[in-house]
Every structure is written in C-alpha cells, then in structure tokens.
Amino acid sequence: MIKKWLVYFLVSTMFLVWLSPSGWTQEKEVTIGYQLIFNPWKVAIARGDFEKTTGYKINFRKFDSPGKLLPAMTSGSVQIGLLGSTGVATAMTRDINVELVWIAEGIASAEALVVRDGSGIIAPQDLKGKRLAVPFVSTTHFHTLFALEQFGIDAKNVSILNLPPNGIAAAWLRGDIDAAFVWDPALSRIKKTGKVLITSGDLGRWGKPTFDGIVANRDFSRANPDFMVKFIKVLAKTDAEYRDNVDQWVAGSQPVQAIVSLVGGSAADVPGVLASYVFPTLEQQASCAWLGCGPDGGAARALLATGQFLENEKKIPAALPDYSKFINAGWVEKALGR
C-alpha cells in the first residue's frame, strides 16, 4: 500500500511540474542583450519576429555599453548578446562559454574619433594631455589605443575616460571632455560641434578591422539547435530587407522608426549610419571572409589581431594563439540548408 501511494505521489508531482509554467517553458525562454546601435535586427525585435518564428519567450535587455553586457553573459543571465570584436576577443580570452555565431555588421566609418570645437585639437599630437572618452571593452576602445599607437602617442599621456555612449553625449555638451571615439546615435550628436579626426574605416585599412558580432552561450545553443537556426534566419531576413530596400529606409519609414524606438537618437541620422556599415549575407557569413575557414577566416584573423593588441596594451593577460575554436559557422550553414 505504501509503495503504491509513493509511486502515485511521485508520478502526480512530476505531472504537475510538467504542467507548471516553470516546468515546460524553462527551455523555451531566452534572454538576449542588445546595445544602442543602429542596425536592421532592431526592426525584427520591434516587430516580434524572433518570438513568432522561434516560438520562444524572449526577454530583450538593453545595455548602454559592452562593459555591462559582458558580465551579464559571464554570469549566465544573458544567453545571447551583441558585442564588438574587442568584447568578443575579451570574452574568448577569458574562456567564457560563448561562441561567435553571426556578424551583425562590419564596421567601416560608422565609428569615429571626434574632437570638440574649441578643444584646441587640430592634429593628432594635440591629443596629449586632453580628455578622451570611450566605452571600455568596445571596438572604439580598441581603435582608440591603436590610433594613439599609430600617432606615436603614449596612451598614458592622454586622459582616457570610460563612459557609455549616452554619457559621452552628455559630457560633451557640458564641455567635460575634449574628444570621444564612439558610434551612433551619440556620434551624430557630438559631430554637430566637433570634427572627425579619424574613422574606424581608416584604422581598418591600416590593418585592424573591427566588427560587431552576436555571441551565444554554448550550453544554450547546443541545447536549443532549432531555435538557433530560426534565430539566424530572422537575422538574415531582416538584413536582406535592408539591403534590398535601402532607398525605402528613410527617416519617416516604419523600419527606421522601429530602430529609433529601441535605440533613441534622431531618425534623420539612421539612413546615413546604416549606409556606413556592411551587413554580410548568409553566404558571406559562412565564407572565408567572415565565420568560415577556421583560423584563416576573416573573423578569426580580426580577433587574433585584436587579442594580440590588447595583450600588448596589457588589457588582457595573454592573447589566444587561435580564436577559431570559439567561432561556429554551423548555425549559418544549417540556415543555408547545407
């Protein structure tokens, strides 16, 4: 009698757990972190495309700097997130359990070092002794250090301040900083009373290209393969919508308004910013130009260069000899039906 009662109790308990929200939705829920950057996938977020396509409950969390998103991914509270290549290299170097699954955008002139009018900065050498703001652990942080190296300026001779993009815009208006290396929408704001000294596109041509990438917790991605493929397909579809209809993504259009609703800034600035990025196709993502070809792939080589530079600058203990083991082109390949 006792044994029958015990079996009945255990079966009933398991059935109730299965019926409860925490019992059957736990593996159907994911938290995704995004940053304040103008890009097409914000449109898919605003429209609810990811939820409709995957069937998952998705908690989108906004982060104003990579320095805040990276710890959230480290702790496991965020399973998927967008990081600049500097943040990606940092995460991989620290052996955080993530993999690079998508190139959100190749950065060209979308990020720039701007000097404030009246700051007295005319040439690069004038940066000595000035206050330069940048979000730490970001692509612009990396390019700031690289630019100073190319200019022959010791970073110790520049007051480099860690501020998020919105903080940079506010400090700029107060006159608290003399220069900043940042992206839009903050970039457009500070350019109104400043001039561009150099862009990330210029520095990329000097041998240190950067990109924004989407990384996923490897335990989550392997436990949710169907989600990952559908997630990638939505990213690809939204990027294609932009590439195929660039002339229609104007200030008053629904896509641009959707982006501004999540990121802020001026709708009038969005078309120009989007045009300054490169949004690779599915085929390009899987190719040697980006995620494919192991250590010889574009993303792996960019991360290696980033890691080596950060090591030289003592921002990380040591660069990895190969970053390709943290790059997974498999989800893109599956999305392509290969």
Domain end among 205, 232, 258: 205
By the 8 A CB rule, do 81 and 34 touch? yes
Residues 6+ apart with CB under 8 A from 321: none
Domain end among 180, 205, 230: 205
- Report the C-alpha gap between 162 and 148 in whole angstroms: 16
Please give, one letter per residue, the 3-state secondary structure of 83-118: EEHHHHHHHHHCCCCEEEEEEEEEECCCEEEEEECC
Residues 88 and 219 in one domain: yes
What pLDDT, on a 0 to 100 scale, did the predictor assign at position 108?
A: 81
- The whole model's pTM is what? 0.84
What pLDDT, on a 0 to 100 scale, did the predictor assign at position 338?
A: 86
Residues 226 and 324 in one domain: yes
Residues 52 and 157 in one domain: no
By the 8 A CB rule, do 285 and 249 touch? no
What pLDDT, on a 0 to 100 scale, did the predictor assign at position 314?
A: 87
Residues 163 and 305 in one domain: no
Residues 98 and 228 in one domain: yes
Residues 91 and 227 in one domain: yes
Domain range enclosing 283: 31-106+210-335
Give the count of domains, the chain. 2
Domain end among 205, 237, 256: 205
Q: Whats the size of the chain, residue-wise?
A: 338
What pLDDT, on a 0 to 100 scale, did the predictor assign at position 27?
A: 65
pLDDT in tens, 56-84: 999 999 998 888 999 999 999 999 999 99
Residues pairing with 134 in the sheet: 162
Q: Is 213 left (phi over 0), alpha (psi -120 to 50) or beta?
A: beta
Q: Which residues of the chain have pLDDT under 70?
A: 1-27
Is 178 within the bounds of a domain?
A: yes
